[in-house]
Structure 1
């Protein structure tokens, strides 16, 4: 099996894992519900967002459309690059890293493009798949499902601390999904091992 076919198989597996968890969350939990996986520091907490990784977003309806279109163009570019480096037998670590980034971007695109069409909303109800009344949004206007929450530290800043004294804090606050994790791991891997991955270019 060629390196490109292996990377494609990895992408399929990663996408299945991402989508299976998202669909389960969407069809078993109401928005805002949570349950503990390990104590108080690893929770499944169901939220949805309109935007990028870790809940960041562009404001307004046009911001959502622009973000979705940018994702699609970005995924096309990443896919082309993945095919290029795979056929040129680039380092395996680089191929896996790009495959992770591609999988993460594609996973969130699926949410944005199709979830609004195939699910009803999750406000005060458990969403259903292919509801008779139709979905909650049009094509490219779906929301990304997030659920992984790691509030490792929860407390208050000391009163003597300037600006934030006495305020409540939570670390790590963002709620994210598996697709976001793929992107983060892929990017960190490239940053850590860039000299090894791009040795030929450096020479």
Structure 2
């Protein structure tokens, strides 16, 4: 299960980066990196990805994250001998899910800090775990379209 190294790497990078942000910045601090394009912006998020915040609370999101994490571990186990691209995509999603789950359990919220903008367009603020989930989903979609099973035509005699 060498792809679990990817999961561990994502979790480690995510938690170290969040720890650095938390220890060197105060909440809502902004550090311009590339003016007008990229900045570090320390915020917290009690909801889900892309600012989705439902009134159900952090316990609900933690429970959903835990269920998804267990499901991803099971799928990764089932796919252990199949296509490497699918396993890598699952490992990325799993690493991101666990990274944000750790935040929800320890702090009751997720730390976000990557902030991109182009002109007046401002993307959602995110973290390494969010990036891993996004890249994993994109790879999974790519895999699904690239390696779509060929459907055999059926012939009927009428």
Q: Does TM-score exceed 0.5, indicating one fold?
A: yes
Unaligned segments of structure 2, at least 5 residues = 153-158
Find 2:25's aligned residue among 29, 49, 61.
29
**1:172 CA displacement:** 3.1
Find 2:102's aligned residue among 110, 115, 119.
110
Are residue 148 (structure 1) and residue 114 (structure 2) matched?
yes
Alignment partners' CA distance in 1, 2:119 and 2:77: 42
Alignment partners' CA distance in 2, 1:113 and 1:198: 38
- Do the aligned residues in 2 keep the contact of 1:50 with 1:144 (CA within 8 Å)? yes
Where do 4+ consecutive residues of structure 1 move more than 6 Å?
A: none
Shift in CA distance, 198/90, structure 1 to aligned 2, threshold 3 Å = farther
1:82 maps to: 76
1:129 maps to: none
**1:197 CA displacement:** 4.2
1:173 maps to: 123
RMSD, matched Cα = 1.6
Alignment partners' CA distance in 1, 2:19 and 2:97: 17
- Do the aligned residues in 1 keep the contact of 2:31 with 2:41 (CA within 8 Å)? yes
Alignment partners' CA distance in 2, 1:16 and 1:152: 30
Instruction: Render the CA deviation track for 1:90-122: whole Å, top value 9, x for unaligned.
Output: 1111110011111111110000001x2xxxxxx
Unaligned segments of structure 1, at least 5 residues = 117-141, 155-170
Q: How many aligned residue pairs are there? A: 152
Alignment partners' CA distance in 1, 2:148 and 2:95: 22
